[in-house]
Chains A and B, each alone.
Chain A
Amino acid sequence: MPELGRFEEPAILVLTSLAERPRHGYAIVQDVQAVAGVRLGPGTLYATLARLEARGLIEGLPAEDRRRPYRITSAGQAVLRDRLERMEAVARTGLARVAGT
């Protein structure tokens, strides 16, 4: 996930939320808070959504009322899977080292 800078972590959280099903912004915030305990502010959320949309990792669906659901794309799923596998490898290594000390 190149060039996301400080929005990389929120991007992973948003992609993880959208990997379950399409969600609009408010539902993403709620889901991320429930899953990761992180509360995304509106500025951070929409800056992240804009970056993910611009990179084709998510796509906006037709707006319902005032809410536009977002859906993860196949490219977004691939990026998310790759990043989570890396994190899993790091977590596994870290846990093993902690257990060995």
Chain B
Amino acid sequence: MIYLLIALYPREWRQRYGLEVLAHYQGQHLPVRDALDLVAGALDAHLHPQWRPRAPNVAAPLALIALLTLLQLAFYPGLAMLIKPGFRPLGSVLPAVFIVVGAVVWAVVFAVPARRRWPLPVALGLGLAFDLLFLNVLAPVAMIPWGRLVGPLAWAVILTAVIASPRRRRRGGRPWKPDDPAAGARMPRKPYDPDPEPLEAVGQFRR
């Protein structure tokens, strides 16, 4: 029960105070009043975080966006010129629109999940939606016959990028365990002493 209640708190809070709260109740009954107080405290910790939030890791998504946009810039005109010898990349408006819209979609697909810390299935779902709607619907509409070829490639890139993303290794939204190194320090298995020796008595923290 206490694990579930501590899991309600933000990760930073759990790392800072989780072991202390757990130590209070190890081997003891958790009163309902304290459980409710912990729930209210968790809500407060989410609404009013008292620590500086970690800067979102936007470097990797931005690099991916730049790379994928460059891939599009190289891929669309290059493949078009291979398939259609007479194709002039700068002479048609549609590929340019396609590239710009594609870049925006790439940005949404990668930047939004990274900033909002959406879970992997959401990111993959966005990638799938992008694949189905944009590449397989809009490309034929835009009369780019080779547009369908981009779908499998884009989907492979999305899968690879998302799975390899640092966000993939994020630990969150699961019950807090004291032995989980990712959730904080490892807790020694010692019985909790509810009546500890005063700190001054052991010669520490004397002011």
Query: Is B180 interfacial (CB 8 A cutoff)?
Result: no
Complex Cα spacing A48 to B113, Å:
33
Given contacts A21-B200, A22-B199, A66-B188, contact A46 B23 (CB under 8 A): no
Chain B residues in 8 Å Cβ range of A44: 37, 40-41
Are A21 and B199 closer than 8 Å at their CB atoms? yes
Query: Nearest chain B CB to A14's CB is how many angstroms away?
Result: 14
Q: B199 touches which one: A25, A51, A66, A69 (CB < 8 A)?
A: A69
Are B34 and A50 closer than 8 Å at their CB atoms? no
Q: B44 touches which one: A25, A43, A66, A67 (CB < 8 A)?
A: A43
Query: Is A8 interfacial (CB 8 A cutoff)?
Result: no
Q: B205 touches which one: A54, A65, A71 (CB < 8 A)?
A: A71
Q: Interface size of A by Cβ–Cβ distance < 8 Å?
A: 27
Complex Cα spacing A22 to B204, Å:
10
Chain A residues in 8 Å Cβ range of B33: 41
Are A26 and B23 closer than 8 Å at their CB atoms? yes
Chain B residues 142 to 179 lying within 8 A of chain A, measured CB to CB, are none
Complex Cα spacing A40 to B192, Å:
20
Query: Is B54 interfacial (CB 8 A cutoff)?
Result: no
Chain B residues in 8 Å Cβ range of A65: 23, 188, 190, 193
Query: Is A68 interfacial (CB 8 A cutoff)?
Result: yes
Complex Cα spacing A29 to B195, Å:
12
Chain B positions within 8 Å of A, measured between CB atoms, are 13, 16-17, 19-25, 33-34, 36-42, 44-45, 50-51, 185, 187-188, 190, 192-194, 196, 198-200, 205, 207
Chain A positions within 8 Å of B, measured between CB atoms, are 21-27, 29, 41-44, 46-47, 49-51, 53-54, 61, 63, 65-69, 71
Give 17 A-B pairs besides A47-B50, A50-B16, A66-B19 with Cβ atoms closer than 8 angstroms. Answer: A21-B205, A24-B196, A26-B23, A26-B196, A42-B37, A43-B40, A46-B20, A47-B44, A50-B51, A61-B205, A63-B185, A66-B20, A66-B22, A66-B187, A66-B192, A69-B199, A71-B207
